[in-house]
Amino acid sequence: MNSFKKSKLVALACLAAAGSLVLTACGGGTAPKTDNAGGSDGKPTGTLNLGVMYETTNYHPSNTSSALAMGTNWHIVEGLYEFDMADYKVYPALAKGEPTKVSDTEYEVTLRDGAKFSDGTDVKAEDVVSSFKRIVEGETGADGKPVESIYKQFFDFIDSITAKDDTTVTIKTKYPFGALQERLVDIKVVPTSATFDELTSKPIGTGPFMYTNISPTALDAEPNPNYNGPYPAKVSKMHWDVLKDDNARLTAALANTIDIMESVPAPFIDQLTGAGWKVDEVPGYNNPFLMFNTTKAPFDKAEVRQAFHYAIDKQTLIDSTLNGKAEVSSSFLPKSNPDYKEAATQYNYDAEKAKQMLSDAGVAGKTVNLLTTDHPWIAQLAPLVKQNLEAAGLKVNVTSVASADVYAQTDAEGTDYDVVLAPGDPSVFGTDPGIIINWWYGDNVWTQKRTGFQKSDPEGYQQIADGIQAAQQLTGDEAKAKWGEVQDLISAKVPLYPLFHRTMLTGYNPAKVSDFKAIGTTGLEAVGVSVK
């Protein structure tokens, strides 16, 4: 995308300002993303068809982590502030403007005048409060059991959010925190009266669109007639086709049944561009990671986990399956992040070193069960990963299942899995390190159940947790240095660690689509997009 470099510089400037613990107006304002209207009369017109590769049954705006739900919800629900996902520029959405600073730890935010949910109900400050409580206090699920939001760790810095009056909320923080607007993006405001089931299956919000149909294979949305924000709908219908298979998305693109294609496999670029499509490349945070059951021997030993990373030829993985469209991880954060530091421990491919480490740990010749998700690009990695590990002296069984089935196993009481190879990308929530690192290493399901890191290495876990907490309260170079220490700690422990960071490839048909911008994370954002 021609504007990517410029957009990226804006994003880095905003994130750097956030890291300085000064509340900034980076991206503040309500100017439309584009001057193009939908039709000649300014009304929405036409259908925008999107081909997406992920699936889900959970659209709950306060606890979903699905790439599909996150991407579609961007058009349906709003926070007080939102990101332009192309550059992470923050703008007031449901908020009327910037927060009013009362003190270093207290702010007030006023709601947009006349804001309504898509069902016509007025939005009140109490809806913001209850949406926040859904995250930090949890809810009761459909089965009557408590459901804790994985977003909870994003808001440890907030002491309270209360309603000052019907249109104003008061936010008190536990300490000065510079990225307030960026974090408020992740509190999507939904009606206080909405039930858990309603929000999970078909949420309503205040965004430019509203869902009209959700099925396992397709979703539809139409303009929200009550929307009065800065980015009104420009198409009369959005339609998402869930096409997990790469070839199915390619076929749909070449047949012109979709206009935008998520996650273009690198080998398909020439076919798409030859058919008149554009394919934009955006460096991102999406990665395949190895996750170990650290409560189970021998994966309770850091040296065994490290050996796996030395054993895998990551550059060959990138070259052979992604046509080079990725960068081998040299830290937990990608190089594009302003707080990136080359980690103290580097996992350059070294089969002999891996073999010796496994032998020293008494693991040589052992059988390892590698559980992977069935995402096509992950499935393509598995054979070479198996080959590399077996060359290092292991026997490897590979099982590939849907993501939901992977995490059903890892989250089960007394889980007995060995190693997981799966994709992940929390940058849908933001790109400050407090988001990215806390997602995987906060006090949540990843460390409590999936890796079991809190149980197997409480001291190591606490070192990382303390580092995260300290970094979020520091400024400038001191914050960057502390985030570097955290990256060093993670690189030594590696209960969960990326193999590489992938360049995101997104295709679109310029003969049909206007004002589309590719993003560096999973999902597709088409707010402000129109069709020709």
Beta bridge partners of 158: 173
| DSSP H or E segment with residue 91 | strand 89-92
Going by C-beta distance under 8 Å and a sequence separation of 6 or more, which residues neighbour residue 441? Answer: 447, 453, 461, 464, 465, 468, 490, 496
| DSSP H or E segment with residue 340 | none
Beta bridge partners of 219: 214, 240
**168-173, strands of its sheet edge to edge:** 100-103, 106-110, 168-173, 158-165
Q: Which residues of 342-360 are buried (b: 16+ CB within 10 A; e: fewer)?
A: ebebebebbbebbbbbbee
Q: Which residue has the tokens 């926070």?
A: 79
pTM (two decimals)? 0.84
Going by C-beta distance under 8 Å and a sequence separation of 6 or more, which residues neighbour residue 84? Answer: 27, 33, 91, 517
Region of poorest pLDDT, from 4-8, 140-144, 232-236, 311-315? 4-8
Span 35-50, average pLDDT: 77
Query: For 337-402, where are the alpha helices, taking DSSP H only?
Result: 351-360, 376-391
CA distance 227 to 232: 7
**How many C-beta neighbours within 10 Å does residue 121 have?**
15
Residues 80 and 92 sit within 8 Å (Cβ to Cβ): yes
Burial (CB count within 10 angstroms: exposed 0-12, middle 13-18, buried 19+), residue 376:
middle
Phi, psi for 303 (deg, rounded to 5): -65, -30
3-class DSSP string for 141-197: CCCCCEECCHHHHHHCCEEEEEEEECCEEEEEECCCCCCHHHHHCCCCCCCCCCCHH
CA distance 353 to 331: 20
Query: What is the pLDDT confidence band of residue 26, given thresholds at 50, 70 and 90?
Result: very low
**pLDDT at site 472:** 87
Residue 272 CA from chain centroid, whole number: 26
CA distance 397 to 409: 16
| pLDDT of residue 33 exceeding 90 | no
CA distance 467 to 484: 9
Nearest to 267 by CA among 444, 34, 507: 507
Distances 269 to 375, 446, 507 between C-alpha atoms, Å? 19, 35, 8
Residues 158 and 171 sit within 8 Å (Cβ to Cβ): yes
Residue 212 CA from chain centroid, whole number: 25
Query: What is the pLDDT confidence band of residue 40, given thresholds at 50, 70 and 90?
Result: low
Q: Which amino acid is at 16?
A: A
The alpha carbon torsion through 265, 268, 274, 278 (nearest 10 deg) reads: 0
**Mean residue pLDDT across the chain:** 91
Distances 109 to 71, 129, 135, 448 between C-alpha atoms, Å? 26, 12, 19, 35
CA distance 206 to 119: 9
**No. of helices (H) and no. of strands (E), the chain:** 17, 23
| DSSP H or E segment with residue 497 | strand 496-498
| pLDDT of residue 4 exceeding 70 | no
pLDDT digits (tens, 9 = 90+) for 228-261: 999 999 999 999 999 999 999 999 999 999 999 9
pLDDT digits (tens, 9 = 90+) for 77-134: 999 999 999 999 999 999 999 999 999 999 999 999 999 999 999 999 999 999 999 9
Query: What token pair was written down for 228?
Result: 């009065």
pLDDT digits (tens, 9 = 90+) for 441-484: 999 999 999 999 999 999 999 999 999 999 988 878 999 999 99
pLDDT digits (tens, 9 = 90+) for 154-194: 999 999 999 999 999 999 999 988 889 999 999 999 999 99
Query: What is the pLDDT confidence band of residue 276, given thresholds at 50, 70 and 90?
Result: very high
Nearest to 176 by CA among 28, 26, 19, 29: 19
CA distance 499 to 377: 13
pLDDT digits (tens, 9 = 90+) for 187-235: 999 999 999 999 999 999 999 999 999 999 999 999 999 999 999 999 9
